[in-house]
Amino acid sequence: MFDSDFTIPPHWQFASSIPSGSEAVIVDIDGVLANASKRQHYLEQRPKKWQLFFAASAEDEVIEEVKRLLELLDHKVVVVLLTGRPSAIAELTVNWLGRNSIRWDLLISRPDGDYMLATKFKEFETKRLLDLGLRIHLCLDDDPSNVEMYRRLGLPSLYIHSGYY
């Protein structure tokens, strides 16, 4: 796995071990793997109802095309789910992934109490993955700001249109 000096952050959850130097893809969840359109109304309210928005994620439908894409990847390729969801709902997310038979190796959620911009959070975590030796070959996201950030880091990135941005 990773260097013995690396302390695994509490907001990281592993479904399998990840050998150092592994090839990887980064996949967002909401709007890319999970259809969050039925809960967007919580974010249209003022103030935004983030807790209700995330709590309702257990009922999301899977975006089948992305699920199939993950199934088609060589099993040596590590699937990193990098999400702005708070780590408080990581168990709910892991259960949803299991119920829907979605392939994943590492789930990185936003630490509880972290309110930095999603793009900054994802950039920080992506750089950490690169520093740990993961060879990231593709990133999938529905936020154009994140897609632009990945490309600035020199990582190929696909924009998935969710309609949320």
pTM of the model: 0.94
Q: Which residue has the tokens 């592993």?
A: 14
Q: Is residue 133 included in any domain, yes or no? A: yes
| Bridge-based pairing state of the strands 106-110 and 157-159 | unpaired
Q: Specify which residues 59 forms β-bridges with.
A: none
**Sheet containing 106-110, strands listed edge to edge, beginning at the edge strand earlier in sequence:** 12-14, 106-110, 78-86, 23-27, 135-141, 157-159
Q: Please compute Rg for the chain using Cα positions.
A: 15
Total domain count for the chain? 1
Domain range holding 115?
Answer: 12-35+62-159
**Alpha carbon distances (Å) from 92 to 30, 60, 98, 133:** 13, 11, 10, 29
Looking at residue 147, which CATH number applies to its domain?
3.40.50.1000
What letter represents residue 83's amino acid?
Answer: T
pLDDT tens digits in sequence order for the chain, 165 residues long: 666 678 999 999 999 989 889 999 999 999 999 999 999 999 998 999 988 999 999 999 999 999 999 999 999 999 999 999 999 999 999 999 999 999 999 999 999 889 899 999 999 999 999 999 999 999 999 999 999 999 999 999 999 999 776
